[in-house]
Amino acid sequence: MSTSEINGLIDQLIPQVLADRDLGNGRIFTKMHFFRLWALSCLQAGECFDEQLLADQIAKRLPPSISIEREVGAPEGFAG
């Protein structure tokens, strides 16, 4: 999957993932948000791709008002 396709999926799905109150307040992007975004992206694309491809792009695509929570066990590169 190309970087532009991944970025398109992130841009399309991030509002939905951040709005999910079961995952948090929508101001901090957590590991749970990441895995939900990854799962929805795989479903939308019709194929599963490596989590690291998403992790490499996520910090660049999040709105500036959203911070990323640093968590143990998060995919490499995810924490910023």
Express each pLDDT in 16-73 by its tens digit: 999 999 988 889 999 999 999 999 999 999 999 889 989 989 988 998 999 888 764 5
Domain annotation covers residue 76: no
Tokens at residue 7, please? 């970025």
Domain annotation covers residue 79: no
Tokens at residue 76, please? 């490499």
Q: Given pLDDT bands bounded at 50, 70 and 90, which one contains residue 76?
A: low
Torsion of CA 32, 39, 19, 33, to 10 degrees: 20
Domain annotation covers residue 42: yes
Domain annotation covers residue 24: yes
What's the pTM value of the predicted model, to 2 decimals?
0.82
Range of the structural domain that residue 63 is part of? 3-68
Q: Given pLDDT bands bounded at 50, 70 and 90, which one contains residue 10?
A: very high
Domain annotation covers residue 77: no
Q: How many domains does the chain have?
A: 1
Q: Given pLDDT bands bounded at 50, 70 and 90, which one contains residue 7?
A: very high
Domain annotation covers residue 74: no
Q: What residue spans of 1-80 are helical by DSSP H? A: 3-19, 31-45, 51-61
Strand (E) or helix (H) holding 70? none
